[in-house]
Protein backbone atom coordinates (compact mmCIF):
# COMPACT_ATOMS: atom_id res chain seq x y z
CA UNK A 1 0.00 0.00 0.00
CA UNK A 2 1.39 3.38 -1.04
CA UNK A 3 1.62 6.37 1.30
CA UNK A 4 -0.89 8.19 -0.91
CA UNK A 5 -3.38 5.39 -0.31
CA UNK A 6 -2.81 5.60 3.44
CA UNK A 7 -3.58 9.32 3.34
CA UNK A 8 -6.98 8.56 1.82
CA UNK A 9 -8.06 6.63 4.92
CA UNK A 10 -10.72 8.30 7.06
CA UNK A 11 -10.93 5.93 10.03
CA UNK A 12 -9.40 2.87 11.69
CA UNK A 13 -8.67 0.05 11.00
CA UNK A 14 -6.81 1.21 7.92
CA UNK A 15 -8.15 -1.40 5.51
CA UNK A 16 -11.55 -2.04 7.14
CA UNK A 17 -12.95 1.02 8.98
CA UNK A 18 -15.37 0.47 11.86
CA UNK A 19 -17.97 2.77 10.26
CA UNK A 20 -18.72 4.28 6.83
CA UNK A 21 -18.22 7.97 6.05
CA UNK A 22 -21.15 10.31 6.79
CA UNK A 23 -23.49 12.06 6.69
CA UNK A 24 -25.57 10.03 9.12
CA UNK A 25 -29.35 10.10 8.83
CA UNK A 26 -31.65 8.86 11.62
CA UNK A 27 -35.24 7.77 10.98
CA UNK A 28 -37.88 7.39 13.73
CA UNK A 29 -35.44 8.34 16.48
CA UNK A 30 -37.40 8.02 19.74
CA UNK A 31 -36.45 10.23 22.69
CA UNK A 32 -37.41 10.28 26.35
CA UNK A 33 -35.78 13.28 28.05
CA UNK A 34 -36.25 13.97 31.75
CA UNK A 35 -35.10 17.39 32.95
CA UNK A 36 -34.07 17.57 36.57
CA UNK A 37 -32.53 19.96 39.06
CA UNK A 38 -29.12 19.02 40.43
CA UNK A 39 -26.36 20.33 42.68
CA UNK A 40 -24.70 23.43 41.22
CA UNK A 41 -21.29 22.53 42.63
CA UNK A 42 -21.48 19.12 41.00
CA UNK A 43 -22.15 20.86 37.67
CA UNK A 44 -19.24 23.25 38.13
CA UNK A 45 -16.94 20.27 38.62
CA UNK A 46 -17.75 18.76 35.19
CA UNK A 47 -18.64 21.63 32.79
CA UNK A 48 -15.45 22.95 31.15
CA UNK A 49 -14.62 26.57 30.44
CA UNK A 50 -15.32 28.55 28.32
CA UNK A 51 -18.86 27.13 28.57
CA UNK A 52 -21.07 28.84 31.14
CA UNK A 53 -23.68 27.09 33.30
CA UNK A 54 -27.08 28.73 32.93
CA UNK A 55 -29.07 26.84 35.61
CA UNK A 56 -28.45 23.86 37.94
CA UNK A 57 -30.25 21.61 35.46
CA UNK A 58 -29.46 18.33 33.67
CA UNK A 59 -31.34 16.57 30.88
CA UNK A 60 -31.22 12.79 31.17
CA UNK A 61 -31.87 11.11 27.80
CA UNK A 62 -32.89 7.69 26.58
CA UNK A 63 -32.81 7.48 22.76
CA UNK A 64 -33.87 4.51 20.63
CA UNK A 65 -32.42 4.62 17.10
CA UNK A 66 -33.99 1.84 15.01
CA UNK A 67 -32.80 3.10 11.60
CA UNK A 68 -29.52 5.02 11.39
CA UNK A 69 -27.46 5.00 8.21
CA UNK A 70 -24.06 3.44 8.81
CA UNK A 71 -24.68 2.74 12.49
CA UNK A 72 -27.66 0.37 12.41
CA UNK A 73 -30.14 -0.18 15.23
CA UNK A 74 -29.10 0.78 18.76
CA UNK A 75 -30.08 2.53 22.01
CA UNK A 76 -28.29 5.34 23.81
CA UNK A 77 -28.56 6.90 27.26
CA UNK A 78 -26.79 9.82 28.90
CA UNK A 79 -26.72 13.34 30.26
CA UNK A 80 -26.59 16.72 28.56
CA UNK A 81 -26.32 20.04 30.37
CA UNK A 82 -27.80 23.39 29.29
CA UNK A 83 -24.96 25.90 28.82
CA UNK A 84 -24.15 29.22 27.15
CA UNK A 85 -21.24 29.93 24.81
CA UNK A 86 -20.49 33.43 23.50
CA UNK A 87 -23.97 34.53 24.56
CA UNK A 88 -25.74 31.68 22.73
CA UNK A 89 -27.70 28.96 24.53
CA UNK A 90 -26.86 25.34 23.81
CA UNK A 91 -26.17 22.03 25.53
CA UNK A 92 -22.98 20.31 26.66
CA UNK A 93 -22.83 16.56 26.09
CA UNK A 94 -21.49 15.20 29.38
CA UNK A 95 -21.89 11.40 29.16
CA UNK A 96 -23.27 8.83 26.72
CA UNK A 97 -23.72 5.05 27.03
CA UNK A 98 -24.74 2.82 24.12
CA UNK A 99 -24.80 -0.76 22.89
CA UNK A 100 -23.27 -0.59 19.40
CA UNK A 101 -19.60 -0.51 18.41
CA UNK A 102 -19.82 1.53 15.19
CA UNK A 103 -21.40 4.69 16.68
CA UNK A 104 -19.08 4.44 19.69
CA UNK A 105 -16.02 4.44 17.43
CA UNK A 106 -17.40 6.99 14.96
CA UNK A 107 -18.79 9.30 17.62
CA UNK A 108 -15.54 9.38 19.58
CA UNK A 109 -13.20 9.64 16.58
CA UNK A 110 -15.09 12.23 14.48
CA UNK A 111 -16.81 14.56 16.96
CA UNK A 112 -15.41 13.52 20.34
CA UNK A 113 -18.65 12.18 21.81
CA UNK A 114 -18.04 10.84 25.36
CA UNK A 115 -19.37 7.38 24.51
CA UNK A 116 -18.93 4.14 26.46
CA UNK A 117 -20.21 0.62 25.83
CA UNK A 118 -23.13 -0.24 28.10
CA UNK A 119 -26.66 -1.69 27.91
CA UNK A 120 -29.43 0.94 27.77
CA UNK A 121 -33.02 -0.03 26.99
CA UNK A 122 -36.14 1.99 26.18
CA UNK A 123 -39.38 -0.02 26.20
CA UNK A 124 -43.14 0.48 26.47
CA UNK A 125 -44.72 -1.36 29.39
CA UNK A 126 -48.47 -0.82 29.27
CA UNK A 127 -49.20 2.82 30.06
CA UNK A 128 -45.57 3.59 30.98
CA UNK A 129 -42.37 4.18 29.01
CA UNK A 130 -39.42 2.67 30.86
CA UNK A 131 -35.75 3.45 30.34
CA UNK A 132 -33.00 1.46 32.02
CA UNK A 133 -29.22 1.76 31.86
CA UNK A 134 -27.10 -1.22 32.88
CA UNK A 135 -23.31 -1.18 32.90
CA UNK A 136 -22.56 -4.88 32.83
CA UNK A 137 -24.91 -6.44 35.37
CA UNK A 138 -25.28 -3.25 37.45
CA UNK A 139 -28.36 -1.02 37.14
CA UNK A 140 -27.20 2.60 36.88
CA UNK A 141 -30.35 4.52 35.86
CA UNK A 142 -34.11 3.98 35.74
CA UNK A 143 -36.54 6.41 34.09
CA UNK A 144 -40.32 6.07 33.97
CA UNK A 145 -42.78 8.30 32.13
CA UNK A 146 -46.51 8.23 31.57
CA UNK A 147 -47.32 7.36 27.95
CA UNK A 148 -48.58 10.26 25.80
CA UNK A 149 -50.51 12.12 28.49
CA UNK A 150 -50.55 15.45 26.63
CA UNK A 151 -49.47 16.40 23.11
CA UNK A 152 -46.82 19.09 22.60
CA UNK A 153 -46.21 21.49 19.72
CA UNK A 154 -43.86 19.62 17.36
CA UNK A 155 -42.54 22.89 15.90
CA UNK A 156 -41.38 24.00 19.34
CA UNK A 157 -39.61 20.69 19.90
CA UNK A 158 -37.94 20.91 16.49
CA UNK A 159 -36.79 24.47 17.22
CA UNK A 160 -35.28 23.41 20.57
CA UNK A 161 -33.26 20.74 18.75
CA UNK A 162 -31.55 23.32 16.53
CA UNK A 163 -29.53 24.76 19.43
CA UNK A 164 -25.78 24.16 19.24
CA UNK A 165 -24.34 21.12 20.98
CA UNK A 166 -20.87 21.14 22.57
CA UNK A 167 -18.44 18.44 23.61
CA UNK A 168 -14.75 18.02 24.37
CA UNK A 169 -12.77 15.94 21.87
CA UNK A 170 -9.68 14.34 23.41
CA UNK A 171 -7.17 12.20 21.49
CA UNK A 172 -3.91 11.19 23.20
CA UNK A 173 -0.42 11.08 21.75
CA UNK A 174 1.40 7.73 21.61
CA UNK A 175 2.96 8.54 25.00
CA UNK A 176 -0.54 9.13 26.46
CA UNK A 177 -0.10 12.91 26.71
CA UNK A 178 -2.86 15.01 25.11
CA UNK A 179 -2.43 15.38 21.33
CA UNK A 180 -5.86 16.89 20.59
CA UNK A 181 -8.02 18.62 23.20
CA UNK A 182 -10.72 20.77 21.63
CA UNK A 183 -14.17 22.15 22.30
CA UNK A 184 -16.32 21.01 19.38
CA UNK A 185 -19.68 22.39 18.29
CA UNK A 186 -22.21 20.57 16.12
CA UNK A 187 -25.86 20.87 15.12
CA UNK A 188 -28.70 18.51 14.31
CA UNK A 189 -30.03 19.20 10.81
CA UNK A 190 -33.02 18.47 8.55
CA UNK A 191 -35.23 17.84 11.58
CA UNK A 192 -38.78 16.53 11.28
CA UNK A 193 -40.61 15.90 14.56
CA UNK A 194 -43.39 13.38 13.95
CA UNK A 195 -45.01 13.55 17.37
CA UNK A 196 -44.26 14.92 20.84
CA UNK A 197 -45.84 14.42 24.25
CA UNK A 198 -45.33 15.18 27.91
CA UNK A 199 -46.46 13.47 31.10
CA UNK A 200 -45.48 12.63 34.66
CA UNK A 201 -42.02 11.16 35.06
CA UNK A 202 -39.49 9.95 37.57
CA UNK A 203 -35.76 9.28 37.45
CA UNK A 204 -33.45 7.31 39.73
CA UNK A 205 -29.65 7.24 39.38
CA UNK A 206 -27.34 4.75 41.09
CA UNK A 207 -23.67 5.10 41.96
CA UNK A 208 -21.17 3.26 39.73
CA UNK A 209 -17.43 3.72 39.40
CA UNK A 210 -17.41 3.78 35.57
CA UNK A 211 -20.96 4.79 34.62
CA UNK A 212 -21.01 7.69 37.07
CA UNK A 213 -24.35 9.24 36.11
CA UNK A 214 -25.13 9.70 39.83
CA UNK A 215 -22.30 12.26 40.03
CA UNK A 216 -25.03 14.73 38.99
CA UNK A 217 -27.69 13.78 41.56
CA UNK A 218 -31.43 14.13 41.04
CA UNK A 219 -32.79 16.73 43.46
CA UNK A 220 -36.09 17.37 41.69
CA UNK A 221 -37.67 16.20 38.44
CA UNK A 222 -38.79 19.31 36.54
CA UNK A 223 -40.33 18.03 33.30
CA UNK A 224 -40.32 15.24 30.75
CA UNK A 225 -40.79 14.97 27.01
CA UNK A 226 -41.25 12.02 24.68
CA UNK A 227 -40.96 12.53 20.93
CA UNK A 228 -40.12 10.83 17.64
CA UNK A 229 -38.06 12.56 14.94
CA UNK A 230 -36.09 12.15 11.75
CA UNK A 231 -32.81 14.08 11.63
CA UNK A 232 -29.28 14.27 10.30
CA UNK A 233 -26.27 14.44 12.60
CA UNK A 234 -24.27 17.39 11.29
CA UNK A 235 -20.50 17.49 11.17
CA UNK A 236 -18.68 19.49 13.83
CA UNK A 237 -16.35 22.45 14.03
CA UNK A 238 -13.68 23.36 16.56
CA UNK A 239 -14.59 26.48 18.54
CA UNK A 240 -11.83 26.37 21.18
CA UNK A 241 -8.41 24.70 21.28
CA UNK A 242 -7.31 23.90 24.83
CA UNK A 243 -3.82 22.97 23.63
CA UNK A 244 -3.19 26.53 22.42
CA UNK A 245 -3.69 27.96 25.92
CA UNK A 246 -0.63 28.71 28.10
CA UNK A 247 0.24 25.85 30.44
> Which residue numbers are catalytic?
115
- Distance in angstroms (rounded) separating the CA atoms of residues 119 and 77: 9
Q: What is the 3-state secondary structure (H, E, C) of 164-215?
A: CEEEEEEEECCCCCEEEEEEEEECEEEEEEEEEEECCEEEEECCCCCCCHHH
Tell me how far apart the alpha carbons of residues 196 and 204 are, in angstroms, rounded to a whole number. Answer: 23
In DSSP terms, 119 is beta-bridged to: 134
Amino acid sequence: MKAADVRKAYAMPLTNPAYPPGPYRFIDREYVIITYRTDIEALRAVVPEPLEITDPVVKYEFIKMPDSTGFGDYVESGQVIPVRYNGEDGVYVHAMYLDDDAPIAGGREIWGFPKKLAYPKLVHEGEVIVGRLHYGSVLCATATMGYKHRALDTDEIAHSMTKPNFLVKIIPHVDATPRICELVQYHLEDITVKGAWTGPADLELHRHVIADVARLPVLEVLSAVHFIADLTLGMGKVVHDYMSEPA
